Amino acid sequence: MSYKYSILLVDDEQEIRDGMSRQIPWNQCGFELLTTAENGLEALELVERLKPDVIITDIKMPFMSGLEFINKASQISPLTKFIVCSGFDDFEYAQQAISLSVFSYVLKPISSNEFVNVLVNLKQKMDSEWKEKKESLSLKNQLASSESIIYDNFLISCMQGAIEENQMATFSKLIGFNQEQSYCVFSLRVDKSNHLLSKTEIKSNHQDLLVYAIKNIFDEWLIQRYSIHSLLIGKDLFYIIEIEDEQEINQLMIDLNALCKQSTKLSDAYVFGGVSFLTNRLSKLSQATHQAITAVQYSTMLDLENNFVTFMGDVKDRLDISYLSIEEDSKLITLIKKGTAIEIETIIHDIFNEIEEKKFSIKSYHLYIIDIFNSIIKTANLYKIKNDELFGDTVPNITEILSKHPKHIIESWLIGLCKNINEMILHNNEKTRKNIIDDSLDYINREFDNPDLTVELISKKLYLSSTYFSTLFKREMGQSFISYLTEIRLSKARYYLEKTNDKNYIIAEKIGYSDPNYFGYVFKKKYGISPKQYRQTLTTNRMMLTNEKNVK
C-alpha cells in the first residue's frame, strides 16, 4: 500500500474550499485532505501543528497574501510542497512563486481532471524523491569502510574488556595499532540541558546531530596536533589520544578545555569531558576508559564557565558526606512552605557552594542531591501536590539526571522545582484562587483596550508564572484567558456599534485590536455577520419599531 501524503487547503472563498474538498478524488491520487483554512493566519497555526506534506493556497487572501504565507510556512515546515491556485495570470506572481520553489502555479478556474493531473505529477515527484533518499542512505551505509569497522570494533572490545590480553598483540599487529606508545582516554559529553529546565524533550535525532557536529569540531582540531582514534559508542564519544609524557598531558588539558569552551559557545549545549591517567599497555585500555568516565562525572560538578575538563589525577581527597543535616533539611522544607523566591534561591545556592567548597566525592554529591530531591518531593506530597502537576507525564529519574547534567543546571532545576511547589502551596486554597481570578478579571475589564494584553503581561502583574495562571484561569472560569478576553472585547464592540457612530477602525482601537481587518474577522467568526452588517441590522430594527409606534 503506497504512502498517502497529507494536504492542507487554504482559500478565502468558502465555495472553492467546499468544491475542491468534494470534487477532487484525493485518496485515489495518493493524498489525504487534512483540513482547510480561510486565511494565512489561520493556516500558519495549522502548519505549526499538522506539518502537512503539501499545501494548496490562493494568492489573494485577507490579512496575508498567499506568497507571504508560503514564505512563512516554509520556515515552519521546510519539506512541505506548495501548489498555488490563483485567478491572477500575472508573470510577476508566477515568478515570485517560482523563487519560493512552488511546485505548480495553477490558474483558476481549473477543472477537476486538470487538477488531478497536477496531483498525480506531484505524487510521482514526491515518491521519486523519497526513493532517492532511501537509496542514497542505503548506499552510504554499504560504502562504510570494512577496515575502519574492524579497527573500531577491536578498540571498542578492548575498552569494554572483551578481549583477552594474550589475543591483543595478534590483533594489534593485524590492524597496525602502536602498542609502544603511551596514550590516554578522553570521554566527551554533550549535554542539551535546556529541556531539563523547560520540561520539553529533545528529539533523539536532534541530539545525535549535535553530537556528530561537536565530534567534527574536535576531530578536525585534534588530528592536526595529536595522533587520535575517535569512537562513538552508543551516544558516548571517546578519544584514544597518543601522548609522550606527563608534560604533554598538561598541554592536552589546556587544548581540550579550550575546545569544550568554544563548542559550548557555538552550540546550544554544554560540552565537557574527562581524561584518564596515561598508560602504555593496551590491556589497560578498559581501565583507562573507566577512569575517563569517572572523570567526566566529576566534570558535572564544575562551574562550566572556565573549567570544562577533569583529569583523573586531580580527583583525590574527596570528602564523603552523603546526607543533608537535620538543620539544613528543616530550613529547606520551611522555606519551600512559606519562604520567598529569593530565600529559596539563596538556600539552594548555599548548598551547592558547600558541595564545591568541601570537594565532595562523586558518590557523595549524588547521594546529597538525591536527599535534597526527596525532601522537596516529600514537602509537595504533604500538600497533596501530584507529580504530574510538577513534572507532566514523566517523573524524572534523579539518578539519570545527576549522571548527565552539569552542576549548575541541576541547581537551577532544583530552584525552579522548589519555587513551583512554593507557589502552589501559597495559592492552593480556594480563597486565594478566588482572589487571583477576581484581580485578573478587574485587570482585564480595565485594560481590555491594550493590544499588548497577554497571559504573560497579566501573570507578571499578579506575580505568578504564566503556566500556573493559565491553568488556574481555565479551571476556575471554564474557558481560556484569550477566549474570555475576546468575549469582553466583542461585547464592548457591540456596545460601541449600538451607542456610537464610530467607524470600525476606531472601535477596533478602543477594544484592543490594532488591525481593524482582524477585528472584523473575529467579530464575524463570533456572530456570523460583519460589524457593518450588525449596525445595519440595528438601524433597520429601530426604524421598524418607530414605524410600529407611529401606526399605533
Q: What is the pLDDT of residues 8-33, one digit of tens each?
A: 999 999 999 999 999 999 999 999 99
Per-residue exposure over 59-94, b if at least 16 CB sit within 10 Å of its own CB, e if not: bebebbbbbebbeebbeebeebbbbbbbebeeeebb
| Domain ranges within the chain, ordered by starting residue | 5-140, 147-314, 326-426, 430-546
Residue-wise pLDDT tens digits, 65-89: 888 999 899 888 888 999 988 877 6
What pTM does this model have? 0.43
Cα 407 to Cα 350, 361, 369: the distances in Å are 13, 13, 10
The segment with the largest mean pLDDT, out of 96-110, 139-153, 278-292, 499-513, is: 499-513
147-314 belongs to which CATH class? alpha beta
Give the pLDDT confidence score for residue 510 in this predicted structure.
Answer: 94
pLDDT band at 431 (very low <50, low <70, confident <90, very high): low
CB 242 within 8 A of CB 226: yes
Contacts 24+ apart (CB under 8 A), 208-212: 208/235, 210/267, 210/269, 211/235, 211/237
Read off the pLDDT band of 124 (50, 70, 90).
very high
pLDDT reading at 4 higher than 50: yes
Most confident of 112-121, 188-197, 211-220: 112-121
CB atoms under 10 Å from CB of 523, counted, come to 27
Asked whether the beta carbons of 529 and 545 are under 8 A apart, the reply is no
For residue 90, CA distances in Å to 105, 297, 426 come to: 11, 64, 63
SS3 assignment, position 47: helix
Q: Which residues contact 214 (CB under 8 A, 6 or more apart)?
A: 188, 190, 237, 263, 267, 269, 271
Distance CA 489, CA 477 (A): 17
- 454 pLDDT above the threshold of 50: yes
Q: What is the pLDDT of residue 200?
A: 43
Burial of 322 (0-12, 13-18, 19+ CB in 10 A): middle
Instruction: Report pLDDT for 21.
Output: 92
Task: Give tens-digit pLDDT for 275-303.
Answer: 999 888 877 888 899 888 888 887 777 66
**All residues at 6 or more sequence positions from 346 whose CB lies less than 8 Å from its CB, including other chains:** none
Position 443 scores a pLDDT of 93
- The answer to whether the beta carbons of residues 316 and 358 sit under 8 Å apart is no
Q: Which of 20-34, 418-432, 509-523 has the lowest mean pLDDT?
A: 418-432
Q: Is the pLDDT of residue 433 over 80?
A: no
Query: Would you say domain 5-140 falls under CATH 3.40.50.2300?
Result: yes
CATH number of 430-546: 1.10.10.60
Answer for the pair 362, 295: CB distance below 8 angstroms, yes or no.
Answer: no
332-354 pLDDT tens trace: 888 988 888 899 999 999 988 88
Q: What per-residue string of b and e applies to 27-48 under the rule 16 or more CB within 10 Å gives b?
A: eebbbebbebbbbbbbbbebbe
Of the chain, the percentage scoring pLDDT greater than 90 comes to 28
Biggest CA–CA distance in the chain, Å, is 118
